[in-house]
A and B are shown apart, each in its own frame.
Chain A
């Protein structure tokens, strides 16, 4: 049995929220590892090609932090010196959603208390989060957790032969030039420049030239780096989405980013430190990727990160609360708790944290009057529905056959599908006819 409780100041809540948002870009579940001097939040992505971890210092980051292990009564997830469990990130993020902004001043959060209930007599596996707000408002959330053994990606900094450090702002401006379909990023340096090239390994339909991805490369001066200690012409490629996730967080917290790596196909680590928080992102790299046109996607092809502990976590989690514990664990104690959840639905989890990650939709201009010079006002308005189907188009070919024209509008840009529809038409039933109509005509009335 382990006991863990800690409390956070509003500033720390903000930082924790940012970290969770960043972790959420790597996977669905965040692993908590409580030790005596730190709490580590980490995610290993599903393909095991990226590992992100934030270590929060017990003394510096938290207002109070207490962790203890009762060695006589060990439950799943408890080791001699630490406790590990896993929580759905969406659920956790939704607790803090909108809280950090302090929008509602009177009832803004003043303190946040976490308590882990690992006592079999107490309740199920619960992570209790208590938000203490202004005017005596207290918001209580109870999330379930899953005891697991946590896998770490190992990275030996002393053996990294290449290292560079840069303000994330510069790199963010590099990635701004990449198109939305870019998947991978190749980095190398030559002639005093460092070149970032986006590429996509997914083979687009060979004949559809226009659907081929746009290749973008951005060469920045090495002097933009704080320091750049890496071999020239050493190509190393990483997943662009992971890279952007790292950059986004580093930029928010104004931390200078350091990258360490050795050779392609060995891990690369991005790291930075804040007051009381250490961030590490270990990403698998690919080499010679530009010439590599293998049919499989890069993620599948990339070797897995080496892992320090590899017991099957699935088994552990199944052993956890479900089978064995459920029998001897009494139902949640009936004595009324002093603090009831105010909302009635404490862990309204899984609500749209993805939304906040998406790029903001273009601002809608509802005003009749033209605002200041903003190019976005000319964009097509956002609230559009599917294209209407009864429209007549200008027909450049001079084809007067409106029926084929309407067919074409129904299936734009897909000649093959249009051909299929044409065949169906020959077999007798036009594609627009309803099943009900067919049945009606077939039946004698």
Chain B
């Protein structure tokens, strides 16, 4: 079993792992000859199924993958540790990732070569006055004109060894992506940064303990059957006329934000016949007038979990949200900057809570 590659895009890889690590501690990483898949299935909350072509983050020419089970390696990776390790690689000259083992522990070893830590040769604040004086200078008395060593042409090598688990193919055969019925509404989400800050503001306003949270909620909390104290639920809805609504309601307040003139992407006609497309629920929803409440598909999602999902915005992706009315929200997150954008997609499955 061999796996070795150079990283071409450590920053994307690092941001990807950062987004994934907000949803779960461990990640199933599946290395295939042409793709890498990352899957997070937490005990509760949102699942992510991501697939990237190897050239999105790895160097295709140096990508070596060998294994007995069809050239596929399945790993369980502590995603937070991997993210931390990758942060060392973001500004590096080169970084190599390989599967190895130390003793009996399999490791992902990340070897990073970097030329200089600090940008610019003078930013180091070196205080080399006359040698042998022995005394440094106090704060604020830096001598910018003092003799400074030239910029660093020296190489630093950082190795990060992340313990992983290797799975046999049979161990992951039973894992499948969730399936849902055809969505009612497809819509391209507005800027995730804006959506995230508004969602967090709403969630904060409705949180127990906040002045606007309903007093009844707080009072009933201890007596509820073992499970209350839930984070506030956001209500997210959209129609096929380019409108998206984010709302939250407690006994004390009801607020909402509405986006309009968003795009409802059309489905690929190559995959479905005209008749099939016409029978899709989203086409029926499109026929409902924009001002009719029946044309809206609605889900109720956990505010905290939604915030974690939106952390994927650090990758500046294009996101299509598919609403299955009162059932689920599926996000298709397309990473920018890859050769074939459609190939690198993170799919988030978010379930809807009953009202």
- Residues of A participating in the B interface, judged by any CB pair closer than 8 Å: 11, 14-15, 167, 169-170, 173, 177, 179, 193, 209-212, 214-221, 223-224, 226, 252-256, 272-275, 365-370, 375, 377-381, 383-394, 396-397, 406, 408-409, 412-413, 432
Enumerate B181-225 residues with CB–CB distance to A below 8 Å.
Answer: 191, 193-194, 196-198, 200-201, 203-204, 207-208, 225
- Residues of B participating in the A interface, judged by any CB pair closer than 8 Å: 15, 18-19, 22, 25-26, 41-47, 76-78, 81, 84-85, 88, 105-106, 117-118, 124-128, 134-139, 142, 152, 154-165, 174-176, 178, 191, 193-194, 196-198, 200-201, 203-204, 207-208, 225-231, 302, 304-305, 307-308, 310-314, 349, 351, 353
In contact, B42 and A393 (Cβ under 8 angstroms)? yes
Could you tell me the distance in whole angstroms from the C-beta of A364 to the nearest C-beta in chain B?
9
In contact, A386 and B25 (Cβ under 8 angstroms)? no
Given A214-B162, A388-B227, A432-B226, 18 more A-B residue pairs with CB atoms under 8 Å apart are A167-B126, A210-B78, A253-B136, A253-B138, A255-B136, A256-B136, A273-B134, A274-B138, A366-B197, A375-B18, A377-B314, A380-B308, A381-B307, A383-B204, A385-B208, A387-B304, A389-B226, A396-B178
Cα separation A367 to B228 with both chains bound (whole Å)? 29
Instruction: Enumerate chain B residues within 8 angstroms of A387, measured Cβ to Cβ.
Output: 44, 304
Give the dominant DSSP class at A's interface: loop
CB within 8 Å for A256 and B127 given contacts A177-B88, A218-B158, A391-B302: yes
In contact, A216 and B43 (Cβ under 8 angstroms)? no
- A212, A216, A274, A393: which contacts B44 (Cβ < 8 A)? A393
CB within 8 Å for A219 and B156 given contacts A274-B138, A394-B41: yes
Instruction: Enumerate chain B residues within 8 angstroms of A14, measured Cβ to Cβ.
Output: 139
Cα separation A212 to B76 with both chains bound (whole Å)? 13
Enumerate the 8 nearest inter-chain pairs by beta-carbon distance, A residue then B residue, closest first: A393-B44, A378-B314, A388-B230, A370-B193, A390-B227, A221-B154, A389-B227, A432-B226
CB within 8 Å for A209 and B106 given contacts A370-B193, A380-B308, A393-B42: yes
CB within 8 Å for A215 and B161 given contacts A273-B136, A366-B201, A392-B44: yes
Instruction: Enumerate chain B residues within 8 angstroms of A379, measured Cβ to Cβ.
Output: 18, 22, 311
Cα separation A397 to B47 with both chains bound (whole Å)? 13
In contact, B125 and A169 (Cβ under 8 angstroms)? yes
- A274, A369, A392, A432: which contacts B353 (Cβ < 8 A)? A392
Cα separation A210 to B81 with both chains bound (whole Å)? 9
Instruction: Enumerate chain A residues within 8 angstroms of B154, measured Cβ to Cβ.
Output: 220-221, 223-224
Cα separation A342 to B220 with both chains bound (whole Å)? 45
Instruction: Enumerate chain B residues within 8 angstroms of A209, measured Cβ to Cβ.
Output: 105-106, 163-165
Closest to A388 in B: B230
Could you tell me the distance in whole angstroms from the C-beta of B94 to the nearest C-beta in chain A?
14
In contact, A393 and B227 (Cβ under 8 angstroms)? no
Could you tell me the distance in whole angstroms from the C-beta of A146 to the nearest C-beta in chain B?
32
In contact, A384 and B304 (Cβ under 8 angstroms)? yes
